[in-house]
Amino acid sequence: MKMKNILSALLLLGLLSCTDLDVPIESSYTSDVFPRSDAEFASVTGPVYVQLRNNIALDYYYLQELTTDEAVLTARGADYYDGGRYIQLNLHTWDETHPHINSTWTWAYRGISLCGEILAALENASEGEIRDRTVAEIRTMRALYYFFVMDLFGNVPISPEYGELTLPGNSDRSAVFAYLENEVSEALPFLSKEIGTATYGKPTYWMAHALLAKMYINAEVYTGTAKYQEAVNSINIIMNASENGANQPFDLEENYLEMFGFNNGPHIKETIFAIPFDQNFGANGMRLGRFPLHPLSRVNFGLPTTISVGNCQHTWADFYYLFEKDPEDIRNGIWLVGHQYYNDGSPMMDGDYHVFLDPEIAFVNVETFDRGRSPQQIAQGARNVKYTPDPTWTSSRDSRNDFLLFRYADFVLLKAEALLRGANDPMGQNPLELVNQVRSIRNASTLAAIDLDILLEERGREMAGETWRRNDLIRFGKFESEWGRDAETNLPVKTNNETYRRVFPIPQGELATNPKLIQNPGY
């Protein structure tokens, strides 16, 4: 059994209990009796990690990717129109009734609620290093869930402590930021610095600094006050991991595609924080390898089940063309594009049509995002298979690929960005050097110069499909840009430039059940 399987089993030892997002529940744990050992603490805290898996690679992914130039999910006739939910994300026309917005809010606040319940249960647990570390881990996990909602929704409520029945109102985004900064900072001294199987999938000292770095690089967006120097400081701590008592340093991986394969795990040296998935212990929605495939591609990947012809997530052509600038770049390998062949070299034929995955998309009806159902129409669009399809997926089509949330290369590029935006580096590195570190190991030609526009392109190539594109576009002032061309008209498809959509609306159901909440401006 792989070590990630063992971890997945351990995380499921805890029992989920029902909770209302606003009203605390009675604890099911008797902390005066347990936990005492590592295993007992893990059994109590497991639900927090199980909850993280539930929506990270589905609803959360949709909000962070389908709202950008990086991904689009089209209809084929009536298939995958689904009430226009994907079109609304693609075109920036969503409202407070959107199902994926609602489910993501519920998912994140369910995680926050679980963390609060568990922290209350651990108050009377036996004092010692295990308890202190576990409390720090759950506080950090709660901060991560809050980071998600702060990034997505802006002025979000800070839930009352466990046992308080008062409904919370909105908190200013800057106040939420300060709360999270304090939570993570107080947890840091008690978090493990170990890098390896024992801490894989759990918050560590390094994961906490990665979370802080993500907050600091976006601080000007979140609070109006830049914190680029603080971002560099946290990233430097990660870069110097081996000098701070860790067993091994983080580093850039030579095999880019292996990082996202179905056998990824603790051996990936770029991983700062991953979310483990495995069908045997609850995959709960890791389907990123399934969404992009042409139905006939299943043969090449050895998949045991058919692929729906209706499901088709791909990318807009202009984003794909970022990858054509350097043909030797190994990151080009994430794409299925052009004429398709079976592994034995024979052409992939749909009837008498040789399947050609054309980056350009021509809509039959752009209003409904219908691209038609002929073999040629089904084949439109370059497909991102960074998360390699898993040949052992079951009828649920869930995969074993662990989801990489914080990855070392991301922070190398974020440090370059912070330096371009005015920070200083005590280590003496410069932005061009940092970007070329990443490009060189990806077998891409080195750059002679770097600016923010070039850096955003590089982040697109490096981080495609990893749920950071929306975050990046907002920070770079590009979220209101036009993108996505209809090959028939050569006109952009996404044209909405309403700036209030940098945050999503508070779901209608939450406003109905909590009269203290105020809807975000514009909705």
Q: Is the pLDDT of residue 20 over 90?
A: no
- In whole angstroms, give the CA distance from residue 200 to residue 3: 9
Q: Could you give the percent of the chain with pLDDT greater than 70?
A: 89
H or E element in which residue 518 lies: none
The C-alpha torsion from 225 through 226 and 229 to 235, rounded to 10°, is 110
Could you tell me if residue 323 is inside a domain? no
Could you tell me if residue 374 is inside a domain? no
Q: Provide the number of structural domains found in the chain.
A: 1
Q: Is the pLDDT of residue 28 over 80?
A: no
Token pair 């109905």: residue: 512
CATH (domain of 130): 1.25.40.390
Per DSSP, what are the bridge partners of residue 271? 407
Token pair 């979000």: residue: 156
Nearest to 77 by CA among 521, 498, 374: 374
- Least confident segment among 10-14, 49-53, 106-110, 428-432: 10-14
Tokens of 139: 């506080």
CB neighbours of 185 closer than 8 A, spacing ≥ 6?
212
Decide: residue 419, CB within 10 A, 0-12 exposed, 13-18 middle, 19+ buried. buried
**Residue 299 · residue 342 · CB < 8 Å:** yes
Average pLDDT, the chain: 89
Could you tell me if residue 215 is inside a domain? yes
Could you tell me if residue 384 is inside a domain? no
Q: Could you give the percent of the chain with pLDDT greater than 90?
A: 72
Q: Is the pLDDT of residue 310 over 70?
A: no
Q: What share of the chain is helix, strand, coil (3-state, %, to 5)?
A: 45, 10, 45
- In whole angstroms, give the CA distance from residue 50 to residue 478: 34
DSSP type of residue 313: E
Nearest to 346 by CA among 300, 293, 395: 300
Could you tell me if residue 521 is inside a domain? no
In this structure, the number of other CB atoms found within 10 A of the CB of residue 228 comes to 21
- In whole angstroms, give the CA distance from residue 81 to residue 283: 26
- In whole angstroms, give the CA distance from residue 212 to residue 214: 5
**Residue 279 · residue 392 · CB < 8 Å:** yes
Q: Would you call 330 helix, strand, or coil by DSSP?
A: helix
H or E element in which residue 76 lies: none
Which 3-state string (H, E, C) describes 425-494? CCCCCCHHHHHHHHHHHCCCCCCCCCCHHHHHHHHHHHHCCCCCHHHHHHHCCCCCCCEEEECCCCEEEE
Could you tell me if residue 300 is inside a domain? no
Decide: residue 286, CB within 10 A, 0-12 exposed, 13-18 middle, 19+ buried. buried
The C-alpha torsion from 394 through 280 and 334 to 358, rounded to 10°, is 20
Could you tell me if residue 241 is inside a domain? yes
Residue 488's pLDDT band, with cuts at 50, 70 and 90, is confident
Q: Is the pLDDT of residue 132 over 90?
A: yes
- In whole angstroms, give the CA distance from residue 88 to residue 329: 33
- In whole angstroms, give the CA distance from residue 181 to residue 194: 22
The 10s digit of each residue's pLDDT in 154-209 is 999 999 888 788 899 999 999 999 999 999 999 999 999 999 999 999 999 999 99
Decide: residue 128, CB within 10 A, 0-12 exposed, 13-18 middle, 19+ buried. exposed
pLDDT at 79: 77
pLDDT at 285: 65
- In whole angstroms, give the CA distance from residue 512 to residue 506: 10
Decide: residue 205, CB within 10 A, 0-12 exposed, 13-18 middle, 19+ buried. buried
The 10s digit of each residue's pLDDT in 35-72 is 666 777 777 899 999 999 999 998 999 999 999 999 99
pLDDT at 35: 62
The 10s digit of each residue's pLDDT in 496-514 is 999 999 999 999 999 999 9
Backbone angles phi, psi at 271, to 5 degrees: -75, 120
Q: Is the pLDDT of residue 376 over 60?
A: yes
pLDDT at 64: 98
- In whole angstroms, give the CA distance from residue 520 to residue 523: 6
pLDDT at 125: 78
pLDDT at 281: 62
Give start and end residues of each alpha helix (H) in 279-389.
298-301, 317-320, 375-378
Domain of residue 496, residue span? 3-162+172-285+402-513
Q: Is the pLDDT of residue 116 over 70?
A: yes
Could you tell me if residue 329 is inside a domain? no
- In whole angstroms, give the CA distance from residue 457 to residue 459: 5
Decide: residue 76, CB within 10 A, 0-12 exposed, 13-18 middle, 19+ buried. buried
In this structure, the number of other CB atoms found within 10 A of the CB of residue 53 comes to 25
Residues shown for the chain: 523
As separate numbers, helices (DSSP H) first and strands (DSSP E) second, the chain gives 18, 12
pTM of the predicted protein model: 0.92
- In whole angstroms, give the CA distance from residue 295 to residue 307: 5
